[in-house]
């Protein structure tokens, strides 16, 4: 007997998949809509752990063993057709319309093809959480985690069943304990604030085979850190099976199960609504990992998910039959894999930058397009491959002896060759493309030629290289990169301190006589360190310009502390923030706008108002300056300082 036929269809699980994928899609469309929507992926992990483990247990019971080869073939037929369609489609699109991205896309495509995308992303340090850049395959990290699970899980289940026998209470408790152990491991490894900001770098990195990687990336994307959901779902598979219940005769336990399921719904809903982004802006150190997520948050999602699953697989709960089992949810759930695959690149092709939120109209149109693409893939690629219909049609066509069929076969071959030309061109283009920076990256790289590091080489925080864990586990400090322009100890008459926004205009500002110290991902508080240093060596001049706050929140205490060494400076210009994708934009600007009331030597350049009124000054991310914006930005600064 085929093991998949030994289990009845569970529409409630498809309904839960629909809820999970909708949460993820809403989050990807606009983080302000469902701030914890990214946790829908964790729900997928729990469902996968439950369903796959239950199928393996059933196969072992019915056949006395697990057929590993058959399992992996079934998984490949289920997952690979849509994935390969996506990879070919994205590569073709980029080869035709985004050729400059092909070089950087190549590594992503290869990593996704071999289901190692999560570890590739961790290793190269292209943070999953960056709001900038064109990243059409970023979401494939979760598929890599699941496929790695599918690779080892049947072997592990077979070993566990061989050693412990069929003792569901014991084995379920074992896997549940393993899930808790993973949660504890993640909590202990995580450091609040750890995400690679300039400050406190030893706490933000971990050594992986002697290579420094971000702790937050390692824990959020890594297979071990994300195995908790898979394990807790597996634990439930030993405790709670659909075969335990009578499909025809409702029993009294359905009321308790239903209550547990609704508690899970309320809990999961509260988590999705209230949890913040994976990373958030802190006052002291740029972006930081959301502590609650890594210190028990994943476990809470897992507990809520198994509570819902328990009710979803019961044949007589309202949650299973009417809510999660309704036709709309079931339809979406059956296509959730394709929807997850195709929605993200479609969003990216339209908006270009990951951090730009969609409005309601854009979302409806793009989601509809994603649904159409998903349906085509589901009907004409995925299902024919899964059911064997594609092979059957191919064999019938190949062995046909009728003249009319031979003509039909020749026509199909000719059409196939024509259709294959474009993907082949795309793959050749991908293989031969040079790695190029996008417009923002190139702008910031060019701007580095116009900046200086005013701190001495002994000041760790200004290092433009990271501190990296050595192979012995001891953190080795890498010396800061030498500045392009050097200062010989003279007073700096006009100093501009900024982050990547100012960095883009560094060359223009330098040409106008301003000394620029700008650095990507710089937290606001580092201005205090720079100002204190310049004051201590008597190098502060008449004018100081500060444009920070793109990467993190500002607090009033830090502003007051910065003004202590600047008390005798003739003019201090604070530039307001324009970061519409960040929640701290408005609160930062309120604090900055209040500064002239407290300090007579402070002026405000309201860049936020200018950028909001003139989006043509900005690149597509709505934050960084294009060449026109760089010139306008420099003109406004010169006007603000009376030059």
Query: pLDDT tens across 410-423, in order?
Result: 666 777 676 778 88
Residue 182 — very low, low, confident or very high, per pLDDT cuts 50/70/90? very high
Cβ atoms of 522 and 286 closer than 8 Å: yes
Cβ atoms of 139 and 344 closer than 8 Å: yes
Cβ atoms of 578 and 608 closer than 8 Å: yes
Residue 403: pLDDT above 70?
no
Q: What is the dihedral of CA 231, 234, 235, 240, to 10 degrees?
A: 150
**The residue to which tokens 């982050």 are assigned:** 499
Residue 562: pLDDT above 60?
yes
What values do phi and psi take at 325, rounded to 5?
-90, 10
* Bridge partner list, 208: 211
Residue 109: pLDDT above 80?
yes
Which of 484, 517, 524, 482 is closest to 503 using CA atoms?
517
Length of the chain (residues): 643
pLDDT, tens digit (0-9, with 9 covering 90-100), for 331-358: 999 999 999 999 999 999 999 887 788 9
Residue 288 vs residue 464, higher pLDDT: 288
Residue 193: pLDDT above 60?
no
**The residue to which tokens 């210009």 are assigned:** 573
Cβ atoms of 571 and 494 closer than 8 Å: no
Query: Residues near 1 by Cβ (< 8 Å), separated by ≥ 6?
Result: 62, 63
What values do phi and psi take at 278, rounded to 5?
-60, -40
pLDDT, tens digit (0-9, with 9 covering 90-100), for 127-147: 666 766 788 999 999 999 999
Which of 214, 122, 195 is closest to 468 using CA atoms?
214
Which of 206, 181, 540, 136 is closest to 350 using CA atoms?
136
Q: What are the structure tokens assigned to 461, written together?
A: 């925080």
Which of 308, 185, 296, 226 is closest to 45 using CA atoms?
226
| CB neighbours of residue 482 within 10 Å | 9
What letter does residue 448 receive in the DSSP assignment? Answer: G
Cβ atoms of 588 and 557 closer than 8 Å: no
Query: Residues near 403 by Cβ (< 8 Å), separated by ≥ 6?
Result: none
213: three-class secondary structure by DSSP: strand
Q: Stretch 439-446: mean pLDDT, rounded? A: 88
Handedness of CA 203, 204, 205, 206 (dihedral sign): positive
Q: Stretch 604-611: mean pLDDT, rounded? A: 97
Report how far residue 357's alpha carbon sits from residue 462's, in angstroms, rounded to the nearest whole number. Answer: 32
**243-252 contacts, C-beta under 8 A, 24 or more apart:** 243/7, 245/314, 245/315, 245/316, 246/315, 247/8, 247/315, 250/316, 251/316
Q: How many CA atoms lie within 13 A of 160 on its CB side?
A: 21
Q: Stretch 245-249: mean pLDDT, rounded? A: 76
Report how far residue 118's alpha carbon sits from residue 344's, in angstroms, rounded to the nearest whole number. Answer: 16
What letter does residue 285 receive in the DSSP assignment? Answer: S
Average pLDDT, the chain: 86
Relative orientation angle of helices 68-97 and 403-432, to the nearest 10 degrees: 70
Report how far residue 411's alpha carbon sits from residue 409's, in angstroms, rounded to the nearest whole number. Answer: 5
pLDDT of residue 392: 66
The pairing of beta strand 475-476 with beta strand 515-518: unpaired
Q: Stretch 168-187: mean pLDDT, rounded? A: 94
Report how far residue 187's alpha carbon sits from residue 207's, in angstroms, rounded to the nearest whole number. Answer: 17
605: three-class secondary structure by DSSP: strand
Q: Where in the chain are the domains?
A: 3-384, 388-436, 440-640
Residue 464 vs residue 611, higher pLDDT: 611
Report how far residue 635's alpha carbon sits from residue 643's, in angstroms, rounded to the nearest whole number. Answer: 9
Q: What are the structure tokens assigned to 628, written together?
A: 């026109």
Q: What is the dihedral of CA 134, 139, 144, 150, to 10 degrees?
A: -160
Query: Residues near 103 by Cβ (< 8 Å), separated by ≥ 6?
Result: 433, 434, 435, 436
Q: What are the structure tokens assigned to 287, written together?
A: 């972006």
pLDDT of residue 290: 77
How would DSSP label each residue in 363-389?
Answer: HHHHHHHHHHHHHHHIIIIIHHHHHTH
Q: What are the structure tokens assigned to 156, written together?
A: 């592990």
Residue 348 vs residue 460, higher pLDDT: 348
Report how far residue 160's alpha carbon sits from residue 183's, in angstroms, rounded to the nearest whole number. Answer: 22
Report how far residue 475's alpha carbon sits from residue 422's, in angstroms, rounded to the nearest whole number. Answer: 49
Task: Indicate the burial class of 631 (C-beta count within 10 angstroms; 0-12, 13-18, 19 or more).
Answer: middle
pLDDT of residue 20: 98
Residue 470: pLDDT above 80?
no
Q: What is the CATH number of domain 440-640?
A: 3.40.50.1110
| CB neighbours of residue 485 within 10 Å | 12
Residue 194: pLDDT above 80?
no
Q: How many helices (H) and strands (E) does the chain have?
A: 28, 11
Q: How many CA atoms lie within 13 A of 136 on its CB side?
A: 25
Residue 474 — very low, low, confident or very high, per pLDDT cuts 50/70/90? very low
Report how far residue 305's alpha carbon sits from residue 265's, in angstroms, rounded to the nearest whole number. Answer: 8
What letter does residue 146 receive in the DSSP assignment? Answer: H
Q: What is the CA radius of gyration of the chain?
A: 28
Residue 205: pLDDT above 80?
no
Report how far residue 193's alpha carbon sits from residue 215's, in angstroms, rounded to the nearest whole number. Answer: 10
Which of 275, 182, 278, 269 is closest to 232 using CA atoms?
182
pLDDT of residue 472: 31
């Amino acid at each position: 007997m085929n093991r998949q036929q030994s289990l009845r269809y569970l529409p409630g699980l498809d309904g839960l998949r629909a809820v999970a994928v909708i949460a993820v899609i809403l989050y990807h469309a606009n983080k302000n809509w469902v701030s914890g929507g990214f946790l829908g992926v964790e729900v997928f992990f729990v469902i996968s752990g439950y369903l796959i483990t239950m199928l393996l247990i059933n196969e072992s019971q019915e056949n006395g063993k697990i057929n590993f080869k058959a399992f992996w073939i079934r998984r490949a037929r289920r997952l690979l057709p849509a994935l390969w369609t996506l990879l070919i489609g994205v590569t073709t699109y980029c080869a035709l319309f985004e050729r400059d991205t092909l070089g950087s896309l190549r590594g992503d495509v290869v990593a996704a093809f071999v289901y190692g995308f999560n570890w590739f992303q961790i290793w190269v340090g292209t943070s999953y959480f960056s709001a900038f850049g064109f990243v059409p395959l970023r979401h494939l990290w979760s598929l890599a985690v699941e496929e790695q699970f599918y690779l080892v899980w049947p072997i592990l289940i077979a070993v566990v069943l061989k050693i412990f026998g069929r003792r569901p209470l014991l084995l379920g408790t074992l896997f549940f304990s393993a899930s808790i152990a993973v949660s504890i491991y993640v909590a202990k490894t995580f450091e609040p604030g750890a995400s690679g900001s300039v400050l406190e770098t030893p706490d933000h990195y971990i050594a992986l085979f002697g290579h420094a990687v971000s702790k937050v990336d390692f824990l959020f994307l890594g297979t071990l850190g994300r195995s908790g959901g898979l394990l807790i779902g597996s634990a439930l598979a030993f405790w709670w099976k659909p075969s335990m219940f009578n499909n025809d005769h409702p029993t009294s336990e359905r009321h308790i199960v239903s209550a547990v399921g609704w508690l899970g719904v309320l809990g999961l809903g509260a988590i999705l609504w209230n949890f913040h982004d994976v990373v958030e802006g802190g006052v002291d150190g740029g972006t930081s990992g959301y502590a609650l997520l890594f210190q028990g948050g994943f476990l809470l999602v897992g507990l809520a998910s198994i509570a819902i699953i328990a009710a979803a697989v019961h044949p007589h709960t309202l949650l299973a039959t009417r809510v999660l089992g309704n036709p709309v949810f079931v339809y979406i759930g059956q296509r959730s894999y394709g929807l997850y695959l195709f929605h993200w690149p479609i969003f990216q092709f339209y908006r270009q930058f990951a951090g730009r939120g969609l409005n309601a109209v854009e979302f409806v149109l793009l989601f509809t397009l994603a649904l159409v693409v998903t349906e085509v893939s589901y009907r004409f690629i995925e299902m024919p491959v899964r059911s064997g219909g594609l092979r059957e049609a191919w064999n019938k066509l190949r062995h046909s002896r009728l003249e009319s069929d031979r003509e039909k076969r020749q026509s199909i071959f000719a059409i196939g060759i024509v259709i294959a030309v474009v993907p082949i061109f795309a793959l050749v283009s991908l293989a031969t493309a040079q790695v190029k920076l996008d417009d923002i990256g190139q702008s910031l790289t060019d701007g580095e030629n116009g900046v200086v590091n005013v701190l001495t080489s002994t000041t760790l925080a200004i290092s433009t290289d990271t501190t990296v864990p050595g192979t012995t586990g001891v953190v080795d400090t890498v010396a800061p990169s030498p500045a392009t322009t050097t200062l010989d100890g003279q007073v700096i008459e006009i100093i501009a301190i900024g982050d990547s926004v100012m960095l883009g205009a560094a060359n223009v500002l330098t040409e106008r006589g301003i000394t620029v110290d700008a650095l990507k991902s710089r937290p606001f508080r580092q201005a205090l360190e720079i100002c204190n240093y310049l004051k201590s060596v008597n190098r502060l001049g008449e004018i100081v310009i500060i444009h920070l706050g793109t990467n993190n929140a500002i607090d009033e205490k830090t502003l007051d502390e910065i003004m202590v060494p600047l008390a005798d400076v003739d003019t201090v210009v604070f530039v307001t923030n324009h970061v519409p994708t960040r929640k701290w934009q408005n609160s930062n600007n309120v604090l900055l706008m209040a500064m002239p009331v407290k300090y007579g030597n402070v002026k405000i350049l309201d860049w936020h108002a200018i950028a909001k009124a003139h989006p043509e000054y900005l690149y597509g991310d709505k934050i960084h300056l294009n060449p026109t914006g760089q010139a306008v930005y420099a003109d406004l600064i010169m006007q603000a300082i009376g030059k």
